[in-house]
């Protein structure tokens, strides 16, 4: 039997083509798209405005998502939840839902594992398995959107900051973004989806050339090549000067502000010298810095900076006119914080041979 088509893999045009191949009039594509992205239908049987024979045919050739949730964990305050999915080929990915007063933010994964090897990141420590398909990226959102819908709520923001490097899986990640922002369907505002990259320079330039409306964040974490080489191996390929050039190019092309992420590690990148180097680097650029005390991971000995050091770093940066925000950490008790996605559960569920 041919492989089933995951409908969440398809763009609207691809879905329209499938509908035509199944002998249905064009308007059925629109109806089906509405079932997928507005009604968040979990099965074909309930798609009551579609003819029964079409629904039966769809059930034979297609599915509505392929990932299986195998574990859900809630933080002690109940506001953050992490879902571990098992993919059909046995790989695992994680998705995090963060509830704020007014926002429901999802942190989604773009790859199983990651090839970039940032030393402080649990995903980097596990290595690269594979890119996620469009449907596996979209599917994470749909799964949690269904759950929120049952409570009368919806996804308001997405950050592509889960497992993986989104610009290393450029095509599928951006195809998923295009699907989720389609006004006929899920209709999430492009400004509500942030893409975070470790700094793949050619991909940043491509992103700028495509005039992407989704905000971009760059994980900088160090302001000198010596320091960044140590923390982010990718820096040896595209050093800071090239990266900042690409960031300037993005700002010039799009007129949009760019965000830099900085995980503060005690005694490592939280020094006044680093703050000054960062200030000099970003001075005059339309940007903002997010300061995040490091989240602990099993494979890295660094510690989060103390409050005092975070405050001193921020104050030093401000002298250069560079604005920053200290980010509140969420879900640390369930290993759902930035860079913690790998999870003890994965280690327990993965055959030891892969360790």
Task: Report if residue 112 touches ligand SAH, rule: CB under 6 A.
Answer: no
115 vs 277, which CB is nearer to ligand SAH? 115
Kind of pairing between the strands at 128-131 and 111-113: antiparallel
Contact between 136 and ligand SF4 by CB under 6 A: the answer reads: no
Question: Would you state the structure tokens that stand for residue 47, as one six-digit string?
Answer: 């798609």
Residue nearest to ligand SF4 (CB): 124
Closest to 293 (Cα-Cα) out of 285, 305, 301, 276: 305
Of 222, 239, 203, which is closest to residue 119 (Cα–Cα)? 222
Closer by beta carbon to ligand SF4, 29 or else 198: 198
d(CA 291, CA 301): 19
> Which residue in 9, 136, 165, 270 binds ligand SAH (CB under 6 A)?
165
User: Which residue lies nearer to ligand SF4 by CB, 116 or 141?
Assistant: 116
- The answer to whether 118 contacts ligand SF4 (rule: CB under 6 A) is yes
DSSP 132: P
Interface map 53-92 toward ligand SAH (x if CB under 6 A): ----------------------------------------
Please report whether residue 314 would count as binding ligand SAH according to CB under 6 A.
no
Burial class, 57, CB count within 10 angstroms (exposed 0-12 / middle 13-18 / buried 19+) = middle
Cα 57 to Cα 1, 16, 22, 310, 323, distances in angstroms: 14, 15, 8, 58, 55
Binding piece for ligand SF4, criterion CB under 6 A, among 61-69, 96-104, 118-126, 266-274:
118-126
Instruction: Choose the contact partner of 292 out of ligand SAH, ligand SF4, none; CB within 5 to 8 A by kind.
Output: ligand SAH
Within positions 171 to 200, which residues make up the interface with ligand SF4, using CB under 6 A? 198
Work out whether 121 is an interface residue with ligand SF4 (CB under 6 A). Answer: yes
d(CA 139, CA 7) in angstroms, rounded, equals: 10
Q: For the stretch 210-231, what's the b/e string if a residue is b when 16 or more beta carbons lie within 10 angstroms of its beta carbon? A: eebebbbbbbbbbbbeebbeeb
Percentages of the chain per state (helix, strand, coil), in multiples of 5: 40, 20, 40
Using CB atoms, what's the residue nearest to ligand SAH? 339
Residue with tokens 């899986």: 169
DSSP state of 73: E
In terms of CB distance, is 261 or 268 closer to ligand SAH?
A: 261
Give the residue, chosen from 198, 200, 240, 278, that forms a contact with ligand SAH under the rule CB under 6 A.
Answer: 198
User: From ligand SF4, ligand SAH, none, which one binds at residue 261 (CB under 5 to 8 Å depending on kind)?
Assistant: ligand SAH
Q: Which of 80, 197, 214, 314 binds ligand SAH (CB under 6 A)?
A: 197
Whole-angstrom Cα distance, residue 188 to residue 4? 27
* Residues catalogued as catalytic: 94, 338
In angstroms, the CA 174 to CA 154 distance is 21
- φ, ψ of residue 265 to 5 degrees: the values are -115, 120
Contact 84, 71 (CB under 8 A): yes
Picked from ligand SAH, ligand SF4, none, the partner binding residue 314 (CB below 5 to 8 A depending on kind) is none
Binders of ligand SAH among 132-161, rule CB under 6 A?
Answer: 161
Among 292, 310, 336, 346, binds ligand SAH (CB under 6 A): 292
Q: Which does 139 bind (CB under 5 to 8 A by kind): ligand SF4, ligand SAH, none?
A: none
Q: Is 337 in the site for ligand SF4 (CB under 6 A)?
A: no
| Residues contributing to the site for ligand SF4 (CB under 6 A) | 114, 116-118, 121, 123-124, 164-165, 198, 219, 339
| Residues contributing to the site for ligand SAH (CB under 6 A) | 118, 120-121, 161, 165, 196-198, 219, 261, 263, 292, 294-295, 297, 338-339
């Amino acid at each position: 039997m041919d492989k089933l088509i995951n409908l969440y893999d398809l763009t609207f045009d691809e879905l329209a083509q499938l509908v035509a191949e199944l002998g249905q009039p064009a308007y059925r594509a629109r109806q089906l798209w509405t079932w997928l992205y507005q009604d968040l239908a979990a099965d074909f049987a309930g798609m009551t405005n579609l003819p029964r024979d079409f629904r039966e045919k769809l059930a034979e050739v297609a599915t509505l998502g392929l990932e299986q949730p195998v574990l859900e964990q809630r933080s002690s305050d109940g506001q953050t939840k992490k879902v571990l999915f098992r993919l059909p080929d046995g790989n695992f990915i994680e998705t995090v839902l963060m509830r704020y007063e007014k926002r429901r933010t999802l942190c989604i994964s773009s790859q199983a594992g990651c090839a970039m090897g940032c030393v402080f990141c649990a995903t980097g420590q596990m290595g690269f398995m594979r890119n996620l398909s469009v449907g596996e990226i979209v599917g994470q959102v749909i799964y949690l959107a269904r759950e929120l819908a049952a409570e009368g709520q919806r996804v308001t923001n997405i950050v592509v900051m889960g497992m993986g490097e989104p610009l290393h899986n450029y095509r599928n990640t951006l195809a998923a973004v295009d699907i989720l922002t389609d006004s006929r369907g899920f209709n999430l505002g492009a400004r509500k989806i942030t893409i975070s990259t470790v700094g793949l320079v050619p991909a940043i330039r491509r992103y700028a050339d495509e005039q992407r409306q989704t905000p971009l964040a760059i994980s900088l974490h160090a302001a000198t090549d010596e320091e960044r080489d140590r923390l982010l191996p990718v820096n040896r390929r595209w050093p800071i000067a090239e990266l900042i050039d690409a960031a300037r190019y993005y700002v010039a092309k799009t007129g949009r502000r760019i965000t830099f992420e900085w995980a503060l590690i005690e005694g490592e990148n939280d020094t006044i010298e680093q703050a000054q180097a960062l200030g000099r680097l970003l001075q005059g650029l339309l940007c903002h810095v997010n300061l995040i005390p490091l989240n602990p991971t099993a494979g890295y000995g660094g510690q989060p900076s103390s409050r005092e050091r975070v405050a001193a770093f921020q104050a030093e940066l401000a002298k250069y006119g560079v604005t920053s925000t200290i980010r509140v950490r969420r879900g640390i008790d369930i290993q759902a914080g930035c860079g913690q996605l790998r999870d003890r559960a994965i280690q327990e569920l993965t055959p030891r041979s892969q360790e």
